[in-house]
Amino acid sequence: AETTRIAVTPGDGVGPEVVEEALRCLEVLRTKHNLALEWTRFPWPSHTWHQKHGESMPDDALDQLRHYDAILLGALGDPGPLDDPDRYLLSDSVSLAPLLEMRKGFDQWVCERPARLLPGARQYLADERAKDIDMLVIRENSEGEYVSQGGRLRKGTEDEVATQMEVFTRRATDRIIRYGFEQARARAAERVKEGRTRSFRSLDGNRDTQAFESQVCLVTKRNALRYWGDMYTEAFEEIRKEYADVAIHHELVDAACMKFVQNPWAFDVVVASNLQGDILTDLAAVLSGGMGVAPSCNLNPSDTGMPSMFEPTHGSAPDIAGQGLADPTAMLFTTARMLQWLGRKDPVMAAAGKELFSTVAADLKENAGKQRRTREIGEAICQQIAG
Ligand code: IPM
Ligand code: MN
């Protein structure tokens, strides 16, 4: 098989520490399964690079990354000391967070953030049913509130006006909703294979009679943000006709926040806009054990040959950086997902991804509540895989 090449961008703060553990595990998997896999580390984007060069990554960064099969990213966003006049991300030389540049540059239009409360993960909700939390939030990742259009008029005066435009296209709306339905089906099939079943009601005519194996919940704020809310809803109604086997649901984003806390176990797949998805996924991460375990991926499912990017949901956590305290679990789950993604046409790679996932899950269960260092967790998992 052709060699799969991964660009590794450890980033800032705890990023390099958790990435190191991911690479150790990858090395063990590579040897064990004889995977045709290699990786290259990049010192950017990062705060350190920004301090040296006045920009968070070189001008040709995207061109350098374009030909890799995937990007594995640690964490970004350490803004540096408060008194640094060049405070990264706030300085004028950085127009968009580098993360956003990459999502945009490689048209990674899906952000998948699963939230499943695995045994051993910290349970923030007291309710017993919390252990049934198993949802996948799909965040539209290419447009919406993140188009970065607008500006500041009469800047710095009392009469200043800031505008920030939101742009929603029917094309991007259709593809993300369709992706949501496809994932709902795939998850139901996966559950059946594992002997797990779930039961959902649908918002349409069959509400009280029929039970469904899967569900897609569309989140909008269409009572206030009418134009895109109505377009999203119409697209949803149209596309759901092709998925009679999937229950549908609709929530306004504020109510969705409430229900994520009140009965998150009732959700399956959730489709949300870029910003609303961003906010919902921090909440969903906490429901499934916190930032220490929450994986994330930015996917370009269109066959364009551009790399998808895999990063944990957590940030750079500068307060604990450099001390070997960060939990690498989220990074390892993210790495497992990357292998599964890369393994779409390569069963050995896909199996390696599954193996990493189940090893990390078993480790989480076995060591529930223990305080362990970054290295200790990574080492335990490497040993398990090595057998
Ligand atoms: C995330 C982050 C980013 C986002 C930031 C760093 C720009 O919060 O990946 O969720 O808003 O998308
Ligand atoms: Mn976020």
Identify which ligand lies nearest to the alpha carbon of 111: 1
What CA–CA distance (Å, rounded) separates 367 from 312?
Answer: 21
pLDDT of residue 95: 43
Query: What DSSP state is assigned to residue 95?
Result: S
Tokens standing for 342? 């890369």
Beta partners for residue 214, in sequence order: 246
pLDDT of residue 84: 60
CATH top-level class of 123-288: alpha beta
Alpha-carbon distances, residue 351 vs 105, 186, 224, 280, 356 (angstroms): 30, 17, 46, 30, 9
Interhelix angle 253-262/274-287, rounded to 10 degrees, is 10
168-211: pLDDT as tens digits: 999 999 999 999 999 999 999 999 999 999 999 887 655 567 89
C-alpha radius of gyration, the chain, whole number: 21
Determine the distance separating the centroid of ligand 1 and the alpha carbon of 383, expressed in angstroms.
33
CB neighbours of residue 345 within 10 Å:
8
CB 295 within 8 A of CB 319: no
Determine the distance separating the centroid of ligand 1 and the alpha carbon of 278, expressed in angstroms.
7
Determine the distance separating the centroid of ligand 2 and the alpha carbon of 212, expressed in angstroms.
31
pLDDT of residue 81: 59
pLDDT of residue 195: 95
What CA–CA distance (Å, rounded) separates 53 from 68?
Answer: 24
pLDDT of residue 50: 85
pLDDT of residue 207: 55
CB 317 within 8 A of CB 75: yes
CB 17 within 8 A of CB 321: yes
Tokens standing for 133? 């939390």
Protein residue whose Cα sits closest to atom 4 of ligand 1: 278
pLDDT of residue 144: 98
pLDDT of residue 285: 96
What CA–CA distance (Å, rounded) separates 205 from 140?
Answer: 28
CB 268 within 8 A of CB 187: yes
Ligand 1 site, residue 97, Cβ cutoff 6 A: yes
Ligand 1 site, residue 326, Cβ cutoff 6 A: no
Tokens standing for 135? 């949802």
Ligand 1 site, residue 99, Cβ cutoff 6 A: yes
Determine the distance separating the centroid of ligand 1 and the alpha carbon of 317, expressed in angstroms.
14
Residues of the chain with CATH 3.40.718.10: 1-108+298-387, 123-288
Question: CB within 8 A of 344, min separation 6: which ones?
Answer: 350
What CA–CA distance (Å, rounded) separates 7 from 66?
Answer: 9
Q: Hey, which of 73, 99, 143, 313 would you mutate to test ligand 1's pocket, going by the most ligand atoms within 8 Å of its Cβ?
A: 99
What CA–CA distance (Å, rounded) separates 139 from 143?
Answer: 10
Ligand 1 site, residue 100, Cβ cutoff 6 A: yes
Q: Kindly give the parts of the chain with pLDDT less than 70.
A: 1, 78-96, 204-208
The alpha carbon of residue 32 and the mean position of all alpha carbons in its chain are separated, in whole angstroms, by 28
Ligand 1 site, residue 278, Cβ cutoff 6 A: yes
Sign of the dihedral through C-alpha 189, 191, 192, 193: positive
Ligand 1 site, residue 77, Cβ cutoff 6 A: yes
Residues in the chain, overall count: 387
Ligand 1 atom closest to the Cα of residue 278 is 10
Determine the distance separating the centroid of ligand 1 and the alpha carbon of 304, expressed in angstroms.
24
| 3-state DSSP helix/strand/coil % of the chain, to nearest 5 | 40, 20, 40
CATH code given to domain 1-108+298-387:
3.40.718.10
